[in-house]
Amino acid sequence: MGSGASTANGAVTENLPVDKTLRRFLGYRLKRAYNTIRSELLGLLEPLGLRITTYSALVLIVDNPGLRQSVLAAALDIKRSNMVAIVDELETKGWVTRKEHPSDRRALALHVTKTGSRTCKRALAVCAEHESNLLESMNSDELIQLLTTLEKIESLSEASQ
C-alpha cells in the first residue's frame, strides 16, 4: 500500500513521486502518520471494546478520579457536546459512573468501576507494547524529540488565538 509498485496482474500502477511538492507540507505528513497509527490503534483497541476516544477518556478518568466531564473534554480537545456520547458509551459498558460533584451541582464527577479499571490496564498494556514496537525501530531520542516538537506545534497555535 502507499506507493504500490507491482501488482498481481500486469496492470499499471505508475509509482508516483509524492515528494515533488506535497511531501514538504507538514499538515500532509502529520495526517498520514496519524492515520497509520490511528488504524493500528483501532485494531488493537477494538477487541477490548474501545475506540481511540473512549480509550483516551478512560485513561484520564482512571488517573483523575472525580474528574469533571467538561475538564475531561478540554483535556482531550473535544467539544463538551461531543464528550457526552463518549462518556455514555463508557457508562453503558459499566466502566465509568457519573456521580454528583461535591461542590458544584451543575457538574458531574467521573469515576471508574472495577471492570473499567481492569479494561484500562489491559488497554494500556496493549498500547504500550505498540509504542515499544515503534521505539525499538526508531531510537528513543528520536521519539522524545518528536513528542517535544508536536507539543511545540500545539502550544504555538494556542498562542495565536
Partner DNA sequence: TATTGTTATACTCTATAACTATA
Partner DNA sequence: TATAGTTATAGAGTATAACAATA
Show the site string, 94-133: x = touches its own copies by CB under 8 A, - = not: ---------xx-------------------x--x---x--
When CB distances are held under 5 to 8 angstroms depending on the partner's kind, the choice from DNA, its own copies, none that residue 140 binds is: none
Whole-number Å distance between alpha carbons of 120 and 62: 8
- Residue 22 near its own copies by CB under 8 A: yes
Whole-number Å distance between alpha carbons of 128 and 144: 15
- Residue 44 near DNA by CB under 7 A: no
Helices and strands (H and E) in the chain: how many: 6, 3
The CB-of-129 to DNA minimum distance in angstroms stands at 21
Q: Is residue 89 left, alpha or beta, with left meaning phi > 0 and alpha meaning psi from -120 to 50?
A: alpha
The CB-of-114 to its own copies minimum distance in angstroms stands at 19
When CB distances are held under 5 to 8 angstroms depending on the partner's kind, the choice from its own copies, DNA, none that residue 21 binds is: its own copies
The CB-of-143 to its own copies minimum distance in angstroms stands at 7
- Residue 9 near DNA by CB under 7 A: yes
**Three-state SS letters, 23-85:** HHCHHHHHHHHHHHHHHHHHHHHHHHCCCHHHHHHHHHHHHCCCEEHHHHHHHHCCCHHHHHH
Site for DNA in 100-139 (CB under 7 A): 101, 104-108
Q: Between the CA atoms of 90, 92, 95 and 96, what dihedral angle is there, to the nearest 10 degrees?
A: 70
Which positions touch DNA (CB under 7 A)?
7-9, 11-13, 31, 35, 39, 51-53, 68-71, 73, 78-84, 87-88, 98, 101, 104-108
